[in-house]
Amino acid sequence: MYNYNYDWYYMNRNNNLYNMNNQGKELFNPKEGFEKGNMFNNLYSGYKNYNYQKLVPRNEQEESLFKLQAICFAAHDLNLYLDVHPNDQSMLMLFQDYLRQEEQLIKEYESKYGPMTIDGLINSNSFQWFKEWPWEVKNV
């Protein structure tokens, strides 16, 4: 779950905002942050004895979607941080990098599996979102 109290945390760390040299120590990678629901390692606290669920894709399409969701989550979590700390250039650069990765992963996913959003239909010859409704998939 998100910890929206970023401002309190960073104000009480001797006024040192996020430092790029500490990135590996302070942020989870997008996959782990997505699974835990928080990109900030030092702000994550588990609930009682609960262990977060490690997600395991069952096929190539699920793996592609999982990567995309993890990058989207990472960008969104950094977006929330940047709402409070808009002048943190290292986090802004990381946020922009995640946005570029998101754009690339969307293109790759849509080229293999079809459009994800209405924007994906721009270069399409039909208005078909997908081949089967999720509840019609057999052998799940």
Is pLDDT at 45 greater than 90 in this prediction?
Answer: no
Question: Average pLDDT in the 42-63 region?
Answer: 84
Question: Average pLDDT in the 83-94 region?
Answer: 92
- Structure confidence at residue 16 as a pLDDT band (50, 70, 90): very low
Look at 52 and 38; give whichever has higher pLDDT. Answer: 38
CB neighbour burial string for 67-86, b if at least 16 within 10 angstroms, e if fewer: bbbbbbbbbebbeebbeeee
Tell me, what's the pLDDT at 3?
Answer: 36
Is pLDDT at 77 greater than 70 in this prediction?
Answer: yes
Check: pTM over 0.85? Answer yes or no: no
134 burial type by CB count under 10 A (0-12 exposed, 13-18 middle, 19+ buried): exposed
Question: Average pLDDT in the 22-36 region?
Answer: 78
Tell me, what's the pLDDT at 130?
Answer: 59
For the chain, the structural domain boundaries read 6-42+56-115
